Amino acid sequence: MSETTTIVAEFREDAGKGASRRLRREGKVPAVIYGGHRDPASLSVQQADLLHATENESFFSTILDIKVGKDLTQQAVVRDMQRHPFKPVIMHIDFMRVSAEEVLRISVPIHYIGEDISPAGKASGVVIQHQVTDVEIEALPRNIPEFLPVDLSEMDAGDSVMLSSIVLPEGVTIPQLEQEGDDNDMAIANAVHVKESQGSGAAAAADEEAALAEGELGEVAELDEDTDDVDKEEGEEEGS
pLDDT in tens, 130-172: 999 999 999 999 999 999 999 999 999 999 999 999 999 999 9
Q: Which residue has the higher pLDDT, 73 or 208?
A: 73
Residue 220: pLDDT band by 50, 70, 90 thresholds?
Answer: very low
Residue 202: pLDDT band by 50, 70, 90 thresholds?
Answer: low
| Percentage above 70 pLDDT, the chain | 79
How many CA atoms lie less than 13 Å away from 139 in the CB half-sphere?
A: 24
pLDDT score at 191: 96
Query: Measured between alpha carbons, how far is 86 from 40 in angstroms, rounded to an integer?
Result: 30
Interval 13-59: pLDDT, tens: 887 888 899 999 999 999 999 998 899 999 999 999 999 999 999 89
The pLDDT of residue 67 is above 60: yes
pLDDT score at 15: 78
Domain 5-97: give its CATH code. Answer: 2.40.240.10
pLDDT score at 14: 80
Q: Which residue has the higher pLDDT, 24 or 203?
A: 24
According to CATH, the topology of domain 104-193 is: RNA Polymerase Alpha Subunit; Chain A, domain 2 (2.170.120)
CA distances from 148 to 17, 96, 114 (A): 39, 22, 14
Domain ranges of the chain: 5-97, 104-193, 202-240
The pLDDT of residue 90 is above 50: yes
Average pLDDT in the chain: 84
CA distances from 135 to 79, 111, 177, 199 (A): 15, 11, 11, 29
**Residues 100, 141 contacting (CB under 8 angstroms):** yes
The whole-model pTM stands at 0.72
Contacts of 166 (CB under 8 A, 6+ apart): 110, 135, 148, 150, 174, 188
Q: Which residue has the higher pLDDT, 201 or 123?
A: 123
Residue 237: pLDDT band by 50, 70, 90 thresholds?
Answer: very low
Average pLDDT, stretch 197-205? 51
